[in-house]
Amino acid sequence: MNDTHKHTNRLIHETSPYLLQHAHNPVDWYPWGEEALEHAKRENKPILLSIGYSACHWCHVMERESFENEDIAAVMNELFVNIKVDREERPDLDEIYMNAVQFMTRTGGWPMTVFLTPELKPFYGGTYYPPTDRYGRPGFPKVMHAVAEAFREQNAQVLQQADQITDYLAQVSRAVDPHEHELTEHLMENAFQHYRSQFDSQDGGFGTAPKFPPSMGLPFLLRYWHHSGALQALEMVELTLEKMARGGMYDQVGGGFHRYATDARWLVPHFEKMLYDNSQLVVAYFEAYQATQKPFYRDIATDTLDYVLREMYDAENGGFYSTQDADSEGVEGKFFVWEPSEVEDIIGEENSAIFCEFYDITPQGNFEGENILHVQTPEDIFAGKLRMELSELETILADGKQKLFAARERRIKPGLDDKILTSWNGLMLRGMAMGYQLTGKSEYLTACEKSAEFVLTTLSQENGLLLRTYRAGKSHLNAYLEDYSYFIAGLVALYEASFEPRWLAEAERLAHLMIEQFGDESGGGFYFTGKAHETLIVQSKSAYDGATPSGASMAIHSLLRLAKHLDKPEFHEKAVETLKLYFHQMEAMPSGSGQLLCELAFLLSTPKEIAIVGQAPDAMLTALHGQYLPNKIVAATDSSSELPLLAGKTQVDNGTMAYVCENYACQVPTTEVDAFVEMLGT
């Protein structure tokens, strides 16, 4: 962004960092809203809709090349009504118009550029356009002139095409299965076979480059292993988690995961860090630790949580920020890469040779002449190679990392998108709550409670409905299905970490609101947008689990657990009805249904209902959280409770009594930790 521009456009009044980055472009940008839409209708001008997000590298490139170029901006201003949208604020618009671009071009991504009729129907689009013809792509001005001419000279054909595309979008967005299907283990087996066929047995992950973290696929495979005993599922999870954590996709110096790897070996990442990736991967690593008892996984998860608290958390208010940019000083990855001489100066000559060899820091570099730290050989094998004690190597590496981190903190940091989204905060609540359960670190629980409190006050309206986004003192935009469903899931996780009944009460209140606002009474399931939202060209009902779980998948997740906690059969029925709508999606597209499949695993197991009653439940809880039991709910109290799972359950002589139940039928309770662990295994 260049503030020396004499221009200021309407985006200057927005709160989104992404929109504010474009507030000084010579483009006459509008935010999405009545003013822009009225203007397009009044002048019968096509709309140029540009969608991106603040951490997106190619979005910055297109801004620099085209939106800051006076000549290109003049063409945009003359021919179109130009609207800029932050996809993180408006996932509803992003989903509809991304489907359109994928339909028109067979590809998608950001920045997304879509041309709409004044009635908002898409008729042409693509992703990044260069300023002149190159990369096999036509130059942006050439595209704009051709589109505007077609709209003017062949208007009837353009409108017909726009109608056809909109009809297609209506079909896609309602693509649910109207038939009753039996939800069986066949779907899980089929999904496992699909993942197995895509698995990279050398480097982990699925498919070829670029490789995205399979944040929901891995938890599904763990559940499949737990359910079926198929060792190969566990091996796929372990290899993937290990390769990601040892690669450049993981920030070896500061903790936390970058967005994805551009290569098959997880070495060179796209350097942005997203709250949603880190929150989901924390859960995957903690679950792998529970399943294998290998401390490596727990350490990666806790280092990631510590990174989030350090860099992505508003300690004053309590919300979690959205993203950190890939670029610093206008160069992608500059903040994260090193040269050997620099490392030697910081660490000292004596240990830098070992440090550089371990992290593959060489004079020729592994990324554009610089070095991304990554681990080629695990510590124990590397120490053996050097005939060195493992503890001595660990000390050298830890000391070196600390010094590099301190030096890196003096660099110019990547940009931070500090808006606070209700949905992504809900995801992070789950990660932090699990961190507290497995480590007992009170700062994780405190962050959870403050974040939940922030959403329930600052991101809530007087009528009880949630808002989506907060920044710079302003909360706005009605929340979407994913905001409700992720946040409810986070509140349930927070209850199971703190056992404060208030969080379950809030989760129940919001679940009723979610069903009322987003539920489809005639066709079942949930819409993406609710009764409080504006009407768009289609009303979507997608359950696609992409980089984040769909709102529908997490609604199922939340309702299945609340039904057990609160003894609410209607929540269970709504969850099952919704899951059945996506039978064919789970069957045909398992890798786009990771969260749905996790919920199917919960449904098909007999979830354990665990109640712990007494003054000092810590030993019982530590034993419980040390186990891999993905299909469970947990309640605890030190006094009598109204909650169904705790009602009538008593403690003995100030001791702690543990109950393990299934379908509200309980085994004989115990005060012995060993006996409790044994009961959990049955």
Mean pLDDT across the stretch 197-212? Answer: 96
Per-residue pLDDT tens for 583-596?
A: 999 999 999 999 99
| pLDDT band (50, 70, 90) for residue 4 | very low
Burial of 434 (0-12, 13-18, 19+ CB in 10 A): buried
pLDDT of residue 333: 93
Per-residue pLDDT tens for 458-474?
A: 999 999 999 999 999 99
Mean pLDDT across the stretch 113-120? Answer: 98
pLDDT of residue 376: 95
**Summary mean pLDDT of the chain:** 95
| pLDDT band (50, 70, 90) for residue 242 | very high
Mean pLDDT across the stretch 545-570? Answer: 97
Answer yes or no: is pLDDT of 550 > 80. Answer: yes
Lowest mean pLDDT of 1-10, 80-89, 205-214, name the range: 1-10
**Selection from 456, 528, 526 nearest residue 491 by Cα:** 456
Q: Judge whether 253 and 401 are in contact, CB under 8 Å.
A: yes
Per-residue pLDDT tens for 265-302?
A: 999 999 999 999 999 999 999 999 999 999 999 999 99
pLDDT of residue 330: 86
Mean pLDDT across the stretch 333-357? Answer: 96
Answer yes or no: is pLDDT of 521 > 50. Answer: yes
Tokens linked to 10: 């309407």
pLDDT of residue 5: 52
pLDDT of residue 3: 46
Write out the E strands in 171-296: 260-261, 269-270, 273-274
CB neighbours of residue 168 within 10 Å: 15
Q: Which residues pair with 134 in a beta bridge?
A: 137
Answer yes or no: is pLDDT of 457 > 50. Answer: yes
Answer yes or no: is pLDDT of 669 > 80. Answer: yes
Q: How far is CA 209 from the centre of its chain?
A: 20
Per-residue pLDDT tens for 606-616?
A: 999 999 999 88
Mean pLDDT across the stretch 114-134? Answer: 96
**Selection from 437, 554, 577, 444 nearest residue 507 by Cα:** 554
Per-residue pLDDT tens for 354-383?
A: 999 999 999 999 999 999 999 999 999 999
Answer yes or no: is pLDDT of 682 > 70. Answer: no
Per-residue pLDDT tens for 485-511?
A: 999 999 999 999 999 999 999 999 999
Tokens linked to 484: 């409700």
Strand pairing report for 29-31 and 81-86: parallel
Mean pLDDT across the stretch 253-271? Answer: 97
Percentage with pLDDT > 70 across the chain = 99
Mean pLDDT across the stretch 332-342? Answer: 96
Task: Give CA–CA dist 545/680, Å, rounded.
Answer: 31
Answer yes or no: is pLDDT of 2 > 50. Answer: no
pLDDT of residue 652: 75
Instruction: Give the Cα-Cα-Cα angle 382, 383, 389 (nearest 5 degrees).
Output: 170
Place of tokens 């040892």: 246
Answer yes or no: is pLDDT of 323 > 70. Answer: yes
Place of tokens 């060209």: 537
**Model's pTM, two decimal places?**
0.96
pLDDT of residue 265: 97
In sign, the C-alpha dihedral spanning 324, 329, 335, 337 is: positive
Task: Give CA–CA dist 571/561, Å, rounded.
Answer: 9
